[in-house]
């Protein structure tokens, strides 16, 4: 049992170290995937488009760096900026969303990349605290299982 707990503890420790070391690659990968999702955005209900809409509605943001990122997409040429960027859904017309100058007043101007990464970084202390607490319980379990094993081994020799 102590060996199993030690193995799990080492796996969690390695995962935490790898996550910390490669956090910049994770950010870069997220940014490139968000850019790809914008380029492939369409009105059909595919999961990437739904994810972009959910992020924009939830975090009150638009685009990757800012709302003008949409101007480089095929969707913008056809329909303008998506409705999920609108500050007020009832106040956004398709004509307003096709004109970047009018859209600037009606949509969220902040980009989603900075908001998502800052939200993740703000939650990292909570995740680190919970992980540290679990690791402490695992270490206590390892120590107690070793003590129990030693106690059982010592008692068997005394019985004989």
CA distance linking residue 20 with residue 28, whole number of Å: 14
Each of the 160 residues of the chain gets a pLDDT tens digit; together they read 888 888 988 888 888 888 778 878 888 888 898 888 888 888 566 788 888 889 999 999 999 999 888 988 888 888 888 888 998 888 888 888 888 888 888 899 899 999 888 888 888 778 778 888 888 888 898 899 888 888 887 776 655 5
Q: What are the residue ranges spanned by the domains of the chain?
A: 1-158
Q: Which of 117, 137, 90 is nearest to 28 (CA)?
A: 117
Is the pTM value of this prediction over 0.75?
Answer: no
The CATH topology of domain 1-158 is Cd81 Antigen, Extracellular Domain; Chain: A (1.10.1450)
- Residue 60, SS3? coil
The 10 Å Cβ neighbour count of residue 145 is: 16
């Amino acid at each position: 049992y102590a060996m199993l707990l030690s193995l799990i503890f080492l796996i969690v420790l390695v995962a935490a170290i790898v996550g910390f070391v490669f956090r910049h690659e994770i950010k870069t990968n997220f940014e490139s995937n968000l850019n790809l999702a914008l380029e492939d955005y369409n009105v059909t209900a595919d999961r990437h488009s739904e994810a972009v809409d959910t992020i924009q509605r939830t975090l009150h943001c638009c685009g990757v760096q800012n709302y003008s990122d949409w101007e480089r997409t095929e969707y913008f040429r056809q329909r303008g900026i998506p409705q999920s960027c609108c500050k007020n859904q009832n106040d956004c017309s398709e004509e307003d969303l096709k004109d970047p100058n009018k859209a600037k007043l009606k949509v969220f101007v902040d980009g989603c990349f900075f908001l998502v990464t800052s939200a993740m970084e703000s939650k990292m202390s909570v995740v680190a605290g919970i992980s540290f607490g679990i690791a402490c319980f695992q270490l206590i379990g390892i120590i107690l299982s070793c003590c129990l094993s030693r106690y059982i081994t010592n008692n068997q020799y005394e019985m004989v």
